[in-house]
């Protein structure tokens, strides 16, 4: 009985890292779904391209007291914890990346458990796998030996999520995202960022200098599918969730060469020049294709966008976006 009133009272959603690539679009989608007044967006600092109409609060996830105050003040019942540093930036600042990705997550899990937050969403990544993983059709359960600090933080984070679920019954849900492709907000510091940057060059009429090799294959997903997956996972009845680390998730897998060819069907004069750097070495330790059948069975995951549909959408939307 009291629990029911508590759930009605603690009904707002907090998004951390809301100014990032995933955060900005997920926040907008949540606001459409739950009402703009029910979504509190936060980040370490405010960006110019904030989703409009939502309440923004500056929040450093390394400050546990600030998280606690926020959760109590705004009656937060669900958290989407997205604040993190990505793989390529992580290799430039390993210690900061570990600190933010790991301590930020643990701070948040502890407060959510202590304040009886109903549900938490936290994104893991294909970076949690490593070079001894089966890299083609990567299964849900396999060897995981990540080589980047970002990947190590994702694998460790998955285990912390599972631990909080097993030990305290905290309802934490997670997806191992592939590279995310979007036109609204740029990604920041990832190995898969080429798949967004390439479109910006193509639309400017420039050749793209790619930091991955022509044949380096990685799993990818269009942003609207990534947002859909998070929201669907969070709405599934608890009993249907069988994976408490993080679900494998995918849409399509591509190489820079294949993406170039797909863009050339719209912009024939477009060209890519290959100058692989350290990010190509990172990419080669990540899965090429993923088996996400457990997500498909457990909660009916289906992606809407394949390569051709994604390319057409990216070009159409970027052409309409002022520089």
Nearer Cβ to ligand AKB (27/191) = 191
What is the DSSP annotation of 135-187?
-SSB-SSS-----SHHHHHHHHHHHHHHHHHHHH---EEEEEE-EEE-SSS--
* 192 near ligand AKB, judged by CB under 6 A: yes
How many residues bind to ligand AKB according to rule CB under 6 A? 11
Closest C-alpha among 164, 175, 162, 178 to residue 254:
178
To the nearest whole angstrom, how small is the minimum distance from the Cβ of residue 192 to ligand AKB?
4
* 191 near ligand AKB, judged by CB under 6 A: yes
| 252: enclosing H helix or E strand | strand 252-254
Looking up tokens 């030990």, which residue turns up?
167
| 226: enclosing H helix or E strand | helix 223-235
* 216 near ligand AKB, judged by CB under 6 A: no
To the nearest whole angstrom, how small is the minimum distance from the Cβ of residue 221 to ligand AKB?
10
Which pair of structure tokens corresponds to residue 212?
Answer: 């991955």
Nearer Cβ to ligand AKB (64/224) = 224
Looking up tokens 């030996």, which residue turns up?
145
* 38 near ligand AKB, judged by CB under 6 A: no
Closest C-alpha among 126, 47, 29, 37 to residue 83:
47
Interface residue with ligand AKB among 87, 97, 182, 216 (CB under 6 A) is: 87
Q: What is the DSSP-derived secondary structure letter of residue 37?
A: G
To the nearest whole angstrom, how small is the minimum distance from the Cβ of residue 178 to ligand AKB?
6
Nearer Cβ to ligand AKB (157/190) = 190
To the nearest whole angstrom, how small is the minimum distance from the Cβ of residue 314 to ligand AKB?
16
The dihedral sign for the CA sequence 297, 303, 308, 310:
negative
Q: Which of residues 107-166 bind ligand AKB (CB under 6 A)?
A: 125-127, 150
Phi-psi region of 35 (alpha: psi -120 to 50; beta: other; left: phi over 0): left
Taking residue 273's Cβ as centre, other Cβ atoms within 10 Å add up to: 9
Which of 74, 150, 222, 305 does the annotation list as catalytic? Answer: 150
Nearer Cβ to ligand AKB (169/186) = 186
Part in contact with ligand AKB (CB under 6 A); list of ranges 58-66, 98-106, 188-196, 269-277 = 188-196
C-alpha separations of 293 from 207, 252, 300 in Å: 38, 14, 9
Q: Is 150 tagged catalytic?
A: yes
Nearer Cβ to ligand AKB (111/128) = 128
Kindly list the catalytic residues: 150
User: Where along the sequence are the contacts to ligand AKB (CB under 6 A)?
Assistant: 86-87, 125-127, 150, 177, 179, 190-192
């Amino acid at each position: 009985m009291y629990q029911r009133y508590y759930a009605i009272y603690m009904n707002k959603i907090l998004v951390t890292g809301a100014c990032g690539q995933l955060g900005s679009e997920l926040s907008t989608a949540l606001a459409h779904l739950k009402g703009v007044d029910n979504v509190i967006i936060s980040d370490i600092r405010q960006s110019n391209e904030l989703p409009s109409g939502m309440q923004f609060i500056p929040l450093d996830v390394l400050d546990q007291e600030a998280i606690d105050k926020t959760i109590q003040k705004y009656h937060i019942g669900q958290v989407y914890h997205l604040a993190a540093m990505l793989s390529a930036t992580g290799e430039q600042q390993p210690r900061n990346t570990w600190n933010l990705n790991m301590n930020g997550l643990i701070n948040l899990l502890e407060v959510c458990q202590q304040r009886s937050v109903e549900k938490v969403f936290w994104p893991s990544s294909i970076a949690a796998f490593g070079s001894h993983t089966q890299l083609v059709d990567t299964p849900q359960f396999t060897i995981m030996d990540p080589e980047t600090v970002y990947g190590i933080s994702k694998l460790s984070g998955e285990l912390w999520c599972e631990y909080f679920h097993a030990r305290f019954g905290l309802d934490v849900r997670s997806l191992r995202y592939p590279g995310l492709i979007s036109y609204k907000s740029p990604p920041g510091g990832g190995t898969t960022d080429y798949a967004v940057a390439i479109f910006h060059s193509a639309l400017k009429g420039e050749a793209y200098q790619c930091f991955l090799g022509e044949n380096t294959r990685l799993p990818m997903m269009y942003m609207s599918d990534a947002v859909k997956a998070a929201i669907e996972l969070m709405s599934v009845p608890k009993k249907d969730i069988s994976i408490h680390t993080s679900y494998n998730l995918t849409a399509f897998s591509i190489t820079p060469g294949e993406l170039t060819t797909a863009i050339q069907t719209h912009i024939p004069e477009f060209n890519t020049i290959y100058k692989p750097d350290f990010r190509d070495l990172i990419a080669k330790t990540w899965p090429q294709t993923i088996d996400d059948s457990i997500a498909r069975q457990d909660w009916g995951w289906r992606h809407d966008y394949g390569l051709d549909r994604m390319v057409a959408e990216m070009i159409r939307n970027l052409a309409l976006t002022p520089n």
